Amino acid sequence: MGDDEFSSQPMIDDRDNILCYNGEIYNYLEVKEKLIEKGVEFKGSSDSEVFLKAYGLWGSDFTEHLDGCYSALIYNKSNHEVFIIRDHFGIKPLYYFIDDYQFIVLLRNKAYSSL
């Protein structure tokens, strides 16, 4: 939600977190207000940016603040950590494959058909 030049993906924040996201946060304006009250600054108006900034502030517990359907991958370039998440009901698809040589995450069914 919220379509602007700052909603393109992958989205990168100032903490080296990179977001790939498929979803919709229904209460993103409410969450954005909470983040602004905590001193978080925004460049745009997308729910993708709210999603990433919420993760940056609250860590892996950030989903407690969200109402929506989503699947996402957040990769931190500095510490090489990967955080993969989807909404509690599994409305948005999330598939992954891992072996000795590769790690693949798909956030959309269409992505699978192109592999």
Q: What residues does each domain of the chain span?
A: 5-113
Q: What is the predicted pLDDT for the residue at 12?
A: 93
Q: What is the mean pLDDT of residues 10-39?
A: 96
User: Whole-number mean pLDDT of the chain?
Assistant: 89
pTM, two decimal places = 0.85
Give me the pLDDT at residue 80, please. 94
The string of DSSP codes covering 1-38 is: ---SGGG-SSEE-TTSEEEEEEEEETTHHHHHHHHHHT
Question: Around Cβ 38, how many Cβ atoms within 10 Å?
Answer: 10
| pLDDT recorded at residue 28 | 98
Report, at the CATH architecture level, how domain 5-113 is classified.
Answer: 4-Layer Sandwich (3.60)
| Contact yes or no for 55/17 (Cβ under 8 A) | yes
pLDDT band at 109 (very low <50, low <70, confident <90, very high): low
Q: What is the mean pLDDT of residues 6-14?
A: 80
Could you read off the pLDDT of 64-106 as tens digits, one per residue?
A: 999 999 999 999 999 999 999 999 898 998 998 999 999 888 8
Contact (CB, 8 A) for 15 and 56: yes
Share of the chain above pLDDT 70, in %: 88
- Tokens 């892996």 -> residue: 60
